Amino acid sequence: MQPVTPLVEAVETAMVDALRRALPEAGRTEPLVRRSDRADFQANGALALAKQHGRNPRELGAAVAAAIEAPGLISSAEVSGPGFINLDLTSEAIWAQVAARTDSDLLGLGLPLAGKRIIVDYSGPNVAKEMHVGHLRTTIIGDALARLAEALGATMIRQNHLGDWGTQFGMLIQYLNEHPEAEWHHADDADPTANVAALDRLYKQARNVFDADPDFADRARARVVALQSGDEDTRKVWRDLVEVSAEAFDAMYERLGVSLTAADLAGESTYNHLLDNVVEELVAAGIAVESEGALCVFFDDITGPDGNPVPLLLRKADGGYGYAATDLAAIRYRIRDLKADQILYVVDARQALHFKQVFATARRAGWLTDEVEAVHVPFGTVLGPDGKPFKTRSGGTVRLMSLLDEAIAKASEVIGEKNSDADPADLAALAAATGIGAVKYADLSNNRIKDYAFDTDRMVSLTGDTGVYLQYAHTRLASILRMAGKTNGTVDTAAPMSREERALALHLDAYGTNLAESMTEREPHRLCGYLYMLARTFTRFYEANPVLKAETDEIRKNRLGLVRLTRDTLAHGLNLLGIAAPERM
RNA sequence: GCGCCAGUAGCUCAGCUGGAUAGAGCACCGGACUUCUAAUCCGACGGUCGCAGGUUCGAAUCCUGCCUGGCGCGCCA
């Protein structure tokens, strides 16, 4: 089915024509059509054009306004201020738009990214470690971007770059071998993350022994070698660790409502067999050079405090590969084998320099070409409610699960007050939906790049710009549709249109444009802002314009059409953010 | 030292890539529930857009310099 052309594009087309008629000598013109608070739209293009051609901007604006030929679309065009053209649309055109989107598949959005293969690398927790607050943003933002790209038609390849390799596993495996009494497979059968929690504790014990006992340290190092050289007994334990950890991650993603599955796992170990070849290729090309016993890539414009170039370290002096080698193997694989058009790395802003080096190296090697877009999608740090780095009272790392538990508990408290007679099971489900939704919305609605304070009290607040507000708006929409029962769903384009109906319909029509912007900027907070505005615009409509009790049948039908489209748009948007859209609250 | 990022209302944040009087939420004050869910809405209050120059019809937005804060810069990932 054909996508529905947004009104703003139809207006732009009309304005380009008008500009051309008013000023034929102007070549390509930008009409600069925007929403306006004094009309449906405003066109600012005449202003710049007048300047270029030495014309009086107000006069040219008037000429352009007079040259508009779009009778079914534009009902009035007036010059204002220095040369803005204020445009009002016919209510017929706006109603027709509502009708077209309602009748269309996918809200008339179409699939602008169809045919694109996009990789999103996100989450990346560590095997044998609990997920903590540091994994929150990459997981939530990455998932939202993946859902967004998918909705726009892209072929999505999610890559969960698990931390499943490294010297620490030698230490842990050796410790486990020496302490068979340290049972961790059934730490708590009711809690799928308990095994990993147990492993996390055992790892810390192993670390202590490693630091205190040189003999154990030697045995641990030997175990690293055994693991790397493929010793079967050692690999068996390692695989066990990976598998149990993956189960815990699955449980976490399930709880969080994140779309990652076992099929998306592509940990560091995935690239082990490629490392020799990748590094050889870089050496052969003269890109990687030896320095102080290590194998490095240098860059002219990247220097350290001493003024010397800072290398990207591929292979350490002890012969072991660093994570840079893994990242290079991964990017080569993603381009050559996965055929990615776009690779998004949703990783902490502090790794900006690292990615700059990796991308530059891949470009020099000829792997990363102009046809492929590799982008670091950075985000700021999660701070505690006090605005300082987020730590537990004892200064430890905050577990992700306890964070979610806290949010859900607070949501449950707040919701319980409003629904004292509700079924406890329903209440628990609703608390999970709103608590998780609150956490995700709080994260996604802030500009990605800035640090933000994790303040549970504020995020589960029932008032204001929160996930709950959007969910509540959705339940009201759903409630109206429930009570309306079956309707024949036709919208009468000749019907009158109230101010609130107009505002809502125009905003609905801009959804696809917003999705496209959110994607090109990789900024989910734009979508959040849109949805919040949608919910507000709807609520204003709802307060002023009775739907089920509308004055006439015709008005009722049109308003129901608006309600249906609003519900579908809001639900669609919430889904892209990974936030539940409940039917009742 | 070099580099990256940020600085907007008392607090938390938007500001659609240069447009008209800079917008929301929270807090505070005043209104609106026999009416489709008041978890809401309406109104009032509140800002030298870090500072100083520059670019132009027009700057929170672009350029330069400075101030403040955060982060990064060889064998951790």
Chain B: bases < 7 Å from a protein Cβ: 1-6, 12-17, 19-21, 24-27, 35-42, 56-58, 70-77
Distance in angstroms: CA A272, C1' B2: 34
Q: What is the pLDDT of residue A457?
A: 86
Q: Report pLDDT digits (tens) over A82-122.
A: 899 999 999 999 999 999 999 999 999 999 999 999 999 99
The residue whose CA lies nearest the C1' of nucleotide B38 is A543
- Nucleotide B9 C1' to residue A282 CA (A): 55
**DSSP character string of A303-323:** B-TTSSBPPEEEE-TTS-B-H
Å from A196 (CA) to B16 (C1')? 45
Report whether A510 contacts A571 (CB < 8 A). Answer: no
pLDDT on residue A185? 86
Dihedral over Cα of A358, A364, A367, A371: its sign: positive
Scanning A152-296, the segments in alpha helix (DSSP H) are 167-178, 194-212, 214-228, 232-256, 272-284
Q: Are A92 and A72 in contact (CB under 8 A)?
A: yes
Domains and CATH numbers, chain A: 7-89 (3.30.1360.70), 166-261 (no CATH)
Do A74 and A10 touch, CB atoms closer than 8 A?
Answer: no
CA A436 to C1' B77, in angstroms, rounded, equals: 28
Give whole-number Cα distances, A249 to A243, A319, A382, in Å: 10, 32, 20
Could you please report the per-residue DSSP string of A353-373? Answer: HHHHHHHHHHHHTTSS-TTSE
Please name the nucleotide lying closest to A550, CA to C1'. B36
Give the tens place of pLDDT for each residue, A197-247. Answer: 999 999 999 999 998 999 999 999 999 999 999 999 999 999 999 999 999
In the structure, how far is the CA atom of residue A321 from the C1' atom of nucleotide B27, in angstroms? Answer: 54
**Residue with CA nearest to B24's C1' atom:** A465
Q: Which nucleotide is nearest to A380 (CA to C1')?
A: B5
State which residue has its Cα closest to the C1' atom of B4. Answer: A352
Q: In Å, what is the separation between the CA of A58 and the C1' of B21?
A: 20
A254, A259, A265, A266: CA torsion to nearest 10:
-150
Nucleotide nearest to A472 (CA to C1'): B39
ipTM of the complex: 0.96
Which residues of chain A fall below pLDDT 70? none
pLDDT at A502: 96
Nucleotide closest to A318 measured between CA and C1': B75
Note the CA–C1' distance, A242 to B3, in angstroms. 38
